[in-house]
Amino acid sequence: MCGSEGFITLVEIDHVELYACSKCAKFGKPVVKRPKPDQRPRYKKHQVQSKAKTKPVTRIPPKKDFLHDKILVDGYGHLIQEARKEHGYGRAQFAGLIKEKETLLARIEAEKVIPTDRVVSKIERELDIELKTDISEESSSVDDIIPRATTIGSIAKIKRKQK
């Protein structure tokens, strides 16, 4: 405060910490410097407990036996439409009953959309009809079940058979 040099001490004068000589230090209180605590908070407000890291479980889907699966019958749209009319339901009323959109039901009846298993089970339950049948053992070869695209090789085989 006074500008003299020599031994100075840290004092608090009017809520301000100053280094002052021994003559000026009598106007304030001596300040005892404490070591600073860690800057880290003592606890975290939103501390999330970390879980032990484990390997993610990979689930292998069950294998489907393709030859013992059920397929949709031919003409399923006509069957649905006839059964719906027999029960006296309009398209909108039946769509509300099975909790599906009317446009989806219209596309299924027109056979523009193949219904999912969940929708098929709803329709079968409400109309008491069977829309899925087992694949018969007679057509159990995979070539009969899965249609193949026409290839150059198949055209050559057809021409050889014709000659």
What DSSP string runs through 88-134? T--HHHHHHHTT--HHHHHHHHTTSSPPPHHHHHHHHHHHT---EEE
Number of other CB atoms surrounding residue 115 within 10 Å? 21
pTM of the model: 0.45
Q: Which residue has the higher pLDDT, 143 or 54?
A: 54
Q: Is the pLDDT of residue 40 over 90?
A: no
**Cα 115 to Cα 47, 72, 75, distances in angstroms:** 48, 9, 13
**Of the ranges 32-46, 50-64, 106-120, the best mean pLDDT one:** 106-120
Contact 31, 12 (CB under 8 A): yes
Inform me whether the pLDDT recorded for 1 exceeds 50.
yes
CATH number of 68-134: 1.10.260.40
What pLDDT band is residue 48 in, cutting at 50, 70 and 90? low
Does the structure show a pLDDT above 90 at 162?
Answer: no
Mean pLDDT over 25-30 rounds to 86
Residue range(s) of every CATH 1.10.260.40 domain in the chain: 68-134
Please give the angle made by the CA atoms of 64, 69 and 73, to the nearest 5 degrees.
Answer: 150
Of residues 66 and 106, more confidence is placed in 106
86 has pLDDT over 70: yes
- The DSSP result for 44-99, as a single string, is -TTPPPPPPP-PPPPPPPPPP-GGGSEEEPTTHHHHHHHHHHHTT--HHHHHHHTT
What's residue 148's pLDDT? 61
Q: 30-39, 99-108, 123-132, 135-144: lowest mean pLDDT where?
A: 135-144
Residue type, 43: Y
pLDDT of residue 58: 73
